[in-house]
Structure 1
Amino acid sequence: MSGEPQTADVSSLAAQVKKLSREADVRKLHHKYGYYIDKCLYKENNYQVSQLFADHPDTYVQFLNGRFIGKKGVDRLYIERFAKRFVGGRNGPIDGWLLDHLMAQDIIDFDPKTGRAKARIRALMSAGTHESLSADYPGGYRQWWEGGVYENEYILQDGVWKILRLRYYPFWHGSFELGWKQAKEFVPMFKEQFPADPLGPDELLADFSLWPDTRVVPFHYKHPITGQEVAEEDMQAPKWLEEASTAPPARTITDWGV
């Protein structure tokens, strides 16, 4: 008997194990990221969020209507902006500040041809300030819910998985007290980019809006049965009983990488 079928089976199993193992590693990386940002662990050596990002020219974080590019941009967002505004510059939580991210419905895909991985992950956040916080705290006393989705890319560097492109699309905000009756921007949009805004993004994104905009964030994967992409008009969100041609264009992600 020839050993070729057995060899082929072993190779196939090894490829499957490699794929599953790398997808599990990426899933762990993102969930660990979520736990760190829950508690504002941005900048110490063991917990510095920027260390989770690749040292790569294509690295960026997309948050709201801004894009923070490179490791310098990542540090500007998490250490200069978030740490200073949320917890007064310290590394870690402060009493009375809630920022809990639930990560769920994660779909992770490792591509053996590129050696990279992509992920779509849903986020549900409860956030707010307790009445015991100082009246001088930025933003005052408020509580809100937030929902959104990530479409991220990851890369192996020196045998370790790191975040290459983090794209977070918050869809809606709503207050604990009034829900959709107060679905405003609890986190304000960026008005200027860096350096005009010293803590601002390197790029401003024109095509971004929250609820009631319900356009689809493009999927990194094709339909598992048909192998087809979702049609562009199906990712739009026209008014009730109106044609897609009357609606704003679909959202796009143009820099998926190789």
Structure 2
Amino acid sequence: MGSELAELKAEVALLRKELSRVSDEAEVRKVHFKYGYYLDKCLYNEVVDMYSDHPDTYVEFLGSRYRGKEGIKRLYNGRFQNTFVKGRNGPVRGFLLDHIMMQDIIDVDPTGTHAWCRMRALMQAGTHKSIRETHPRGHVQWWEGGLYENEYIKEDGVWKLFRYRYFPFWHAEFETGWSETKENYIPWPTKTYPEDPWGPDELIEQKMLWPDTRVVPFHYPHPVTGKRVDDDDLRAPLFGDEASSAPAPLSLALPEGQSRPGAGSREDPKVLPDLLQNKV
């Protein structure tokens, strides 16, 4: 009887752990989807409020990094808010900025306080012809495809945005399609804060826009082999050329001085062994 009771208790403990994991995965998914809905309608105050106040919080975007809550405010409440909606919190008539979020892969670490999400975004954007004279973008319409490799942390029982990395894969004018897209469709930032009042805290080497087709590294190992994709296989050389001729592979490595839960160092194989070991 005693052994059966112990076995039952162990089974209940496992079920509780699994239920907690599934519940956390669902909540992280909802958090990102909610972020997307706010972003669609230029509700940048609400977007910023979703980020953690943790000092290691950051956003990587277009070859730059916005660090901490103040840096994140410069990106959303500065650059985006002033460029798209002239400083208001909310949409302006005739401006479209829809982000379709999909194909999410979410993993929660064993502590239940740190999570990863890889997710694809497809954006439809542009202006209606009725505002061509009043909106600074004039009369335009374009597509964008991108990929997130994000991290989240749970603070006081609430999942929050933590480290957001968004890689815009490609842009395309609606009339001509992606095969005619000019290179460097969105110019890379060249100045940091405070020289640029809305600028990033630092410029980084992670620059990729179509027709560059490098692979954004996966936060997870292969589900069958348990291995990571080789660095050379993440590169994108010209057809028939050696991988070594192509730009260096992209990375999910942290800025100097930052670490992940349980991390002794960046190369520590004990760092979240189910998710993150080997070069992330």
Superposed pair shares fold, TM > 0.5: yes
Q: Is it true that 1:121 corresponds to 2:124 in the alignment? A: no
Conservation of the 8 A alpha-carbon contact between 1:60 and 1:70: yes
Aligned mates of 2:212, 2:186 — CA distance in 1? 16
| Aligned-pair CA distance for 1:186 | 4.8
Conservation of the 8 A alpha-carbon contact between 2:43 and 2:89: yes
SS at match of 2:161: strand
Cα-to-partner distance string for 1:15-67 (whole Å, 9 max, x where unaligned): 10000000100000000000000000112xxxx21110001010011111111
| Aligned-pair CA distance for 1:135 | 2.0
Conservation of the 8 A alpha-carbon contact between 2:236 and 2:243: yes
Structure 2 spans left out of the alignment, 5+ residues: 262-280
Conservation of the 8 A alpha-carbon contact between 2:153 and 2:162: yes
Cα-to-partner distance string for 1:76-134 (whole Å, 9 max, x where unaligned): 11111111110111111111100000000001100024720000000000000111114
Partner of 2:13: 11
Matched AA of 1:67: R
Q: 1:214 to 1:233 in 2, by over 3 A?
A: same
Cα-to-partner distance string for 1:141-184 (whole Å, 9 max, x where unaligned): 21100001000000011111101101100011000011124413
Q: 1:131 to 1:188 in 2, by over 3 A?
A: farther
SS at match of 1:173: strand
Match of 2:152 among 154, 157, 172: 154
Partner of 1:237: 236
Match of 1:37 among 36, 39, 48: 39
Q: Higher mean Cα deviation, 188-197 or 18-27?
A: 188-197
Matched AA of 1:194: Y
Matched AA of 1:54: S
- TM-score under structure 1 normalisation? 0.94
Q: 1:130 to 1:202 in 2, by over 3 A?
A: same
Q: Cα RMSD (Å) of the superposition?
A: 1.4
| Aligned-pair CA distance for 1:187 | 3.6
Partner of 1:57: 55
| Aligned-pair CA distance for 1:140 | 2.0
SS at match of 2:16: helix
Aligned mates of 1:254, 1:21 — CA distance in 2? 28
Q: Is it true that 1:221 corresponds to 2:220 in the alignment? A: yes
Q: Percent identity?
A: 54
Q: Higher mean Cα deviation, 178-187 or 68-77?
A: 178-187
Partner of 2:260: 257
Partner of 1:21: 23
Conservation of the 8 A alpha-carbon contact between 2:170 and 2:178: no
Aligned mates of 1:13, 1:121 — CA distance in 2? 27
Conservation of the 8 A alpha-carbon contact between 1:52 and 1:162: yes
Conservation of the 8 A alpha-carbon contact between 1:127 and 1:144: yes
Partner of 2:211: 212
Aligned length: 254
